Chain A
Amino acid sequence: MSDAPLLEIKDVTVEFATRRGIVRAVEQINISLTKGETLGIVGESGSGKSVTSYAVMRILDRAGTIANGSVVFSGIDVREMSMIFQNPRAALNPIRKVGRQIEDVLKQHVLADTRDIKEKAVEMLRQVKIARPEERYHAYPFELSGGMCQRIVIALALACQPRLLIADEPTTGLDVTTQKSVMDLVVELTRARGMSTILITHDLGLAAAYCDRVVVMEKGKIVETAMSSEIFKSPSHPYTKRLMKATPKVGGTLRGLLPDGAELSPAASMPKMSIDKTEKPLLEVRNLVKEYPRQGATKTLGELLGKPAPAESIFRAVDGISFTVGKGESVGLVGESGCGKSTTSMMVMRLLDKTSGDIIFSGEDIGSIPASEFAVLPQRKRIQMVFQDPTDSLNPRFTAVRAIADPIMRLGGISGRDALRARCEELAKLVGLPVELLDRFPHQLSGGQKARVGIARAIALNPELVILDEPTAALDVSVQAVVLNLLQDLKDSLGMSYLFVSHDLNVVRLLCDRVIVMRTGKVVEEGTAEEVLGSLKAEYTRELLTAIPHPPL
C-alpha cells in the first residue's frame, strides 16, 4: 500500500441539472486506489455510488457535470479503464454477434490485425471461461444466459487491457451460483493481470467478501472507509451498522433486521388470528406439469451450431411437482432462475394454464378452470398476488388510491365513493402507507412506498392465499427489512397463507415456515425452514447456500 495511488478522487462533487434546479448527486468525496487493489463502494439506491464511477469514467450523461474537485490518474489515462454493468443482456448490442463486439474493441485499441483478430476474440471468450468459444463467437446476446452475457461483458472490458476495472452491480439480477462464478472470475482475471478493481454494489456482504477495502456511501457522501476484514467486526458509522443489521443472515430474526427503536406497522399490534393447524390444507398441488413446445432461440441456436435438434420437441418447465400450503402457513418456493418456480406460481395464481395435474384450493379443483375465465370468478378474490417489480406492476396513470381500489371495484362489492375511500385508507394504514400519499402517482412514491401499495392492493379483498413473487428483489436492504416485517405482521393478523417465491435463501429462512427447493422443474428438497436450510441434506441446497458471499469474519 505504499505505492502512489493509481486513482485519486479528490473532493469531487457531481451536479445534475434538473427541472427543479440543481441536484447534488455526489458531494465532496475522496477515494484513492492503489495498484492491484480491489475497492468496494457500497450504498443503497440514491447514494451516488454509480454516479461516482460515471464521473471517473467520464460517461456522465449530458445533464451531469463534475462541479468541483478532480479525478487524478497517475500514469494511466481514461482509455486504460473499463467498466462492466448491471443487466448484462442489455449491456450488449442485441443485433451484433458477441464475437464481433469483442473484435470491435480489439480493433479500436489496435491489439489485433485482420489476420488474427478472430483467434484473439475466441481467445478472449476462452479466458472468461465460456464453453465452446468457437461456437459462441457467432451467438447473439439473446441466445445466451444472463451469466454468459456478463462474461462477454467482462471479455469486452478486458479486451482493451485496462489497468482499472469498474464493476457496477455486476451480479445484481443473477442467481447466487452465477454471481459466485462471475465474481470469482473477475477476481481471478484482475488479480492475474495486476489490475485494480472498483466494485460498486448494494450488497455489503458481496463487497466484503471480494474487496480489500470498502467505502460506504449514503446520500452522496462517504460515511465510512475501512478494510473489509474490519468493517464487519467493528462498523463505526451508524449507517453501516444499520445496513449490516438489515441484511438477512443466518441466525437472524425478522425483527432483528429493523434498526433499534423502529416503528412497526399497525398490523404488528393487532391480535394474531388463531389458526387451526389440523384443518385440511388450503392449497394442494398434485403432479403439476407445464410443458412448452421447444422452439425459438434454443432450437435455432442448436441448428446454428450444427447440432441436431433435441429429440423431444417439448420442454417441461414444471415437471410433476406436488406440495401443500396449509391455512396460515407460509411456504417458500426457492430455486435458481429457470427452475420453474415462477411458472408454478403463475399456474397456482391461475394466470397460466397447466398441462396436467391438479390445483386444489380449499377443496375445489381450480386447475381445470381456464386462466382466461378465472379473473371474473368469485375465487379470484381468495387468491391474490404481490409482484416482483413494485414500479412496473402499478399503472403509472393510476394514483395509489386508484390502484388499491381497483380490485375492490371489480370484485369487492363496496359501492359508493366514500365507502371505497374509507376502505382504501384503512388498507393504507394497515400497510403503513401514510394516508396523505394516497393521491400520489407511482413516480411520486419511493420504492418502499410502491411496494406497500402493491401489498395493500393484494390484501384489499381479504384473500386467503397471497402469492409473493420476489416481492423485495427490487428493494434496498433497509426497505426490504421493513417490507418483510410488514408481510409477516399482516399474515399473523389477517390469517393469510403465503406462497413466497424467491431466490434469496436468507430471506426465505426468515419468513417461511416451510421451504420447497426446486431445480429444473422438480422438487429437490422439502421441509421446514430449519430442516432444509439448517442441515443441508441435498447437494443442490448446499450449493445454493455456499454461493452466498461470506464476508471474512
Chain B
Amino acid sequence: MLLRMSRRLGITLFSIAAVIVITFALTRVLPGDTAAYFAGPAATEDAIQEVRVKLGLDRPKYEQFIRYVQDLARGDFGQSLTTGQPVIRDITARLPASAELTLVGLILSILIAIPLGVLAAVKEGSMIDHVSRVIATAGVSLPVFFTGLLLAYFFYFILGWAPAPLGRLDIIYSAPRHVTGFYLIDSLIARDMDVFWAAAKQLILPAATLAIFSLAPITRMTRASMLAVLSSDFVRTAKASGLSTRKVIITYAFRNALLPVITTLGMVFSFLLGANVLVEKVFAWPGIGSYAVEALIASDFAPVQGFVLVMAVLYVLLNLMIDLLYGVIDPRVRMAA
C-alpha cells in the first residue's frame, strides 16, 4: 500500500513537471506580441524593444524557461498586465470563489443526482426512470447562461427571493477575514451569521445553475453503474440469502457501483471549475474562469500561464485523490499494486 502510494506520488510529480513545460510552451505560441501590448498603442519601435528587454522576452527560449521555473519556485507567477497585480495574488483571490461555487453546485447536484440515478436503476423502466431521464437531458441541453438568466429572472426579478446577481456578497456586507477564501466557511469561523446567510443567498442561484447542468452525467452514470451491479451474481446471492432490499441496494449494490460514479464526479468537478465562465459572467462572480478568459483576450500571457498551471495541478491532485479513494472503496485496487 505504501509502495503503491509513493509510486503514485512519483507519477503525480512527473505530471506536474510536464504541465510546467507545456504551459510555458503553450503561452509562447499564443498569437499577439506581449511587449507591444504592454508598451501601449502609441509606443515607438524602440519603446517596444525596451519593454521586451525588460520582460526578458529577447532572451533565448531556454533561458526564459529557466527564469520561469526559478520564478515559480519562489511563488512568482509574474505580473498581470491587465490588473497590474501579481498573478499569484489574483489567483489566490479568485480561485476560492470558483472553487466554492463549483463545490456547492456539485454537492447540490450529487444530493439530487445520485438518489435519482439509484432510484431510476432500481425501478428501471418505471415512471421515475423516465422522469429522471427527462430532467437530466433537459438540464444538460439548456445552456448554462440560459438557465442562469432564467433563474435570476424568476428568483430575483419576479419573485425577489434571491439577492441581485452581483458577485459573492451584497455590498452592504464586508467580506469575512480571509482564512480559506470560502466565504461560507470564513464567515462561520468569524462567527458572523449575517455574512454567512448573505453569502449563501448570493451563492444559491449560480450553484443551482451549475447543479442543473451537471445532473445529467452523474445521474446517467449512477444509473448505468447501478444497473450493471444489480444484475450481477452477488446481488442475486444477497437477495437469495434473504437480505432486506435496503441492505442489498445500499451495502451490496451501491458501494460496488460507486467507482465509475466517483470518476465521473472528478471529471465533472474539474470541468466545471475552469469552464463555468458563462455562469461567472451572468452572476458577476469574481471567479478564475472569467479572469483567464479576459487575460487571454488581452494577450496577457502571465495570468493565462498561471491559470493553466493551477488548473492542471488541481486536476492532477484531484486524480490522485480519486485514485486513493478507489483504494479505500475497492480492496482489489489496494492489492493490485
Q: Which residues in A have some Cβ–Cβ distance to B below 8 Å?
A: 57, 59, 61-62, 79, 82-83, 85, 87, 90-96, 104-105, 108-109, 140, 142-143, 153, 156-157, 159-160, 295-297, 300
One of B49-57, B79-87, B101-109, B240-248 at the interface: B240-248
Q: Let me know if B238 and A160 touch, CB within 8 A.
A: no
Number of A-B contacts (CB under 8 A): 80
Chain A nearest CB: distance from B120 CB in Å?
A: 14
CA distance A51 to B120 in the complex (A): 26
Q: Which residue of A59, A94, A109, A143 is within 8 Å of B234 (Cβ)?
A: A94
Once bound together, how far apart are the Cα atoms of A83 and B241, in whole Å? 7
* Residue B239 is within 8 A (CB to CB) of chain A in the complex: yes
| Known A104-B251, A142-B332, A143-B335; 6 more pairs at CB < 8 Å | A62-B125, A85-B240, A93-B234, A93-B252, A105-B243, A108-B243
Shortest distance in angstroms between B191's beta carbon and chain A's nearest beta carbon? Answer: 40
Q: Does A105 lie within 8 Å of B234, measured CB to CB?
A: no
Q: Is the CB of B336 within 8 A of A94?
A: no
| A–B complex contacts, Cβ < 8 Å, 24 sampled | A57-B240, A59-B236, A59-B239, A59-B240, A62-B124, A62-B125, A79-B242, A90-B232, A91-B234, A91-B237, A92-B234, A94-B256, A95-B330, A95-B332, A96-B252, A105-B243, A108-B244, A108-B247, A109-B242, A142-B331, A153-B237, A156-B241, A159-B241, A296-B336
B172 at the binding interface (Cβ < 8 Å): no
A140 to B242 alpha-carbon distance, docked (Å) = 21
Residue with the greatest number of chain A CB neighbours at <10 A, chosen from B242, B332, B334, B336 = B242
Give the docked Cα–Cα distance between A87 and B251 (Å).
21
On chain B, the residues within 8 Å of A83 by CB distance are: 237, 240-241
> Within 8 Å CB of B242, what residues of A?
79, 82, 105, 108-109, 160
Chain B residues with Cβ under 8 A from A59's Cβ?
236, 239-240
User: Which listed residue (B241, B335, B336) contacts A105, Cβ 8 A?
Assistant: B241
With A104-B247, A109-B242 already in contact, the answer to whether A85 and B255 are too (CB < 8 A) is no
Residues of B within 8 A of A297 (CB): 335
In whole angstroms, what is the CA distance A91 to B232 when docked? 8
The answer on a CB contact under 8 Å between A95 and B241 is no
Which residue of the partner chain A has the closest CB to B252? A93
Q: Is the CB of A92 within 8 A of B237?
A: yes
Knowing A104-B247, A296-B335, the reply to whether A93 touches B256 (Cβ < 8 A) is yes
| A92–B237 CA distance with the chains assembled, in angstroms | 7
B66 within 8 A of A: no
Q: Which residues of A contact B233 (CB under 8 A)?
A: 85, 87, 90-91
Are the CB atoms of A94 and B332 closer together than 8 Å?
yes
Q: Return A221 CB to nearest CB of chain B, in Å.
A: 25
Distance in Å from the Cβ of A149 to the closest Cβ of chain B? 11
Contacting residue for A160 out of B232, B234, B241, B332, CB 8 A: B241
Of all A-B residue pairs in the complex, the 7 with the closest CB atoms, nearest first, are A90-B233, A83-B240, A91-B237, A91-B233, A93-B234, A300-B335, A140-B331
Chain B stretch 52-105: residues in CB contact (< 8 A) with chain A: none
Bound: A257/B335 CA distance, A: 46
> What are the residues of chain B within 8 A of A156 when measuring CB–CB?
237, 241
On whether the beta carbons of A95 and B329 are closer than 8 Å, the reply is yes
Smallest beta-carbon distance B60→chain A, Å: 43
Could you say which residues of chain A place their CB within 8 Å of the CB of B127?
none
Residues in A with CB closer than 8 Å to B240 are 57, 59, 82-83, 85, 157
Mark out the residues of chain B between 240 and 299 whose CB falls within 8 Å of any chain A CB in the assembled complex. 240-244, 247, 251-252, 255-256
Shortest Cβ distance from A97 into B: residue:
B331
Judge if B337 is at the interface, Cβ distance under 8 Å.
yes
Q: Which residue of A lies closest to B335 (CB)?
A: A300
Tell me if B239 and A95 are in contact (CB < 8 A): no
> What is the bound-complex CA distance between A297 and B336, given in angstroms?
7
Shortest distance from the beta carbon of B45 to any chain A beta carbon, whole Å = 60
How distant is the Cα of A193 from the Cα of B76 in the complex, in angstroms?
Answer: 76
* B134 CB, nearest partner CB in chain A, Å: 22
Give A140 to B330 CA distance when docked, in angstroms. 10
Which residue from chain A places its CB closest to the CB of B253 in the assembled complex? A93
Q: Which residues of A contact B244 (CB under 8 A)?
A: 108
CA–CA, A142 and B332, complex, Å = 7
By a CB distance below 8 angstroms, the chain B residues around A142 are 331-332, 335
How far, in whole Å, are A157 and B244 apart by their CA atoms in the complex?
Answer: 15
- Separation in Å of the B111 CB from the closest CB of chain A? 24
User: Inside 8 A of B238's CB, which chain A residues have their CB?
Assistant: 93, 104
Measured between beta carbons, the chain A residues less than 8 angstroms from B237 are 83, 85, 91-92, 153, 156
A295, B4: Cα distance in complex, Å? 13
A140 to B234 CA separation, bound complex (whole angstroms): 13
Give A300 to B4 CA distance when docked, in angstroms.
Answer: 12
Q: List B contacts of A109 (CB < 8 A).
A: 242
List residues of chain A with CB within 8 A of the CB of B330.
94-95
Contacts of B231 in A (CB 8 A): 61
CA distance A159 to B124 in the complex (A): 31
Q: Which of A62, A108, A142 is packed against the most chain B CB atoms within 10 Å?
A: A108
CB distance from A31 to the nearest CB of B (A): 19
Q: Are A91 and B236 CB-contacts (below 8 A) given A62-B124, A295-B337? A: yes
CB within 8 A of B256: which of A95, A105, A143? A95
Q: Bound complex: CA of A59 vs CA of B337, how far in Å? A: 38
Residues from chain A with a CB closer than 8 A to the CB of B241 are 82-83, 105, 108, 156-157, 159-160
Which residues on A sit within 8 Å (CB–CB) of B247? 104, 108
Minimum CB–CB distance from A127 to chain B (whole Å) comes to: 16
Distance, CA A91 to CA B252, complexed state (A): 11
Bound-state CA distance A91–B231 (Å) is 11
Report yes or no: B251 in contact with A96, Cβ–Cβ below 8 A. Answer: yes
Chain B residues positioned under 8 Å from A61 (CB to CB): 231
What is the CA–CA distance of A79 and B242 in the complex, to the nearest angstrom? 6
Nearest Cβ on chain A to B96's Cβ, whole angstroms? 35
CB distance from B160 to the nearest CB of A (A): 48
Q: Give chain A residues whose Cβ lies under 8 Å from the Cβ of B332.
A: 94-95, 140, 142
Residues in chain B near residue A85, CB distance under 8 A: 233, 236-237, 240
In the complex, chain A residues whose CB is within 8 Å of the CB of B124: 62
What residues on B are CB-neighbors of A160 within 8 Å?
Answer: 241-242
The answer for the CA separation of A90 and B330 in the assembled complex, in Å, is 15
Chain B proximity of A433: nearest CB distance (Å): 32
* Cα–Cα, bound, A59→B242 (Å): 11
Nearest opposing residue in chain B for A141, CB measure: B234
**Which residues of chain A come closer than 8 Å to B337, judged between CB atoms?**
295-296, 300
Tell me which residues from 95 to 147 in chain B have a Cβ below 8 Å from any Cβ of chain A: 124-125
- Name the B residues within 8 Å of A91 (CB-CB): 233-234, 236-237
Chain B residues with CB below 8 A from A94, complex form: 234, 256, 330, 332
Interface residues of B in 279-337 (CB under 8 A from A): 329-332, 334-337
Q: Tell me, in angstroms, the Cα distance from A280 to B252 when the chains sit together.
A: 59
A409 smallest CB distance to B (angstroms): 35
Within the assembled complex, what's the spacing in Å between the Cα atoms of A300 and B332? 11
Inter-chain contacts of B236 with A (CB < 8 A)? 59, 85, 91
Bound complex: CA of A359 vs CA of B334, how far in Å? 38
**Which B3-45 residues have C-beta < 8 A from chain A?**
none
Name the residue of chain B whose CB is nearest to the CB of A160.
B242
Q: Give the nearest-CB partner of A83 in chain B.
A: B240
- Residues of chain B with a CB closer than 8 A to A93's CB: 234, 238, 252, 256
